[in-house]
Amino acid sequence: MTVLAVVLQVVLAIAKAGLVATFLVAITATVQLAADLRRPPARHARGPRHALGRS
Residue 45 located in a structural domain: yes
Residue 2 confidence (pLDDT): 94
Residue 12 lies in a domain: no
Range of the domain at 26: 18-55
CA distances from 28 to 3, 14, 21, 34, 49 (A): 37, 21, 11, 10, 27
Res. 31: pLDDT tops 70: yes
pLDDT at position 36 is 85
> Is there a domain that residue 48 lies in?
yes
Q: Is residue 53 part of a domain?
A: yes
Q: Which residue has the higher pLDDT, 7 or 43?
A: 7
Convert the pLDDT of each residue in 32-54 to its tens digit: 998 888 876 555 555 555 555 55
In-domain check, residue 1:
no
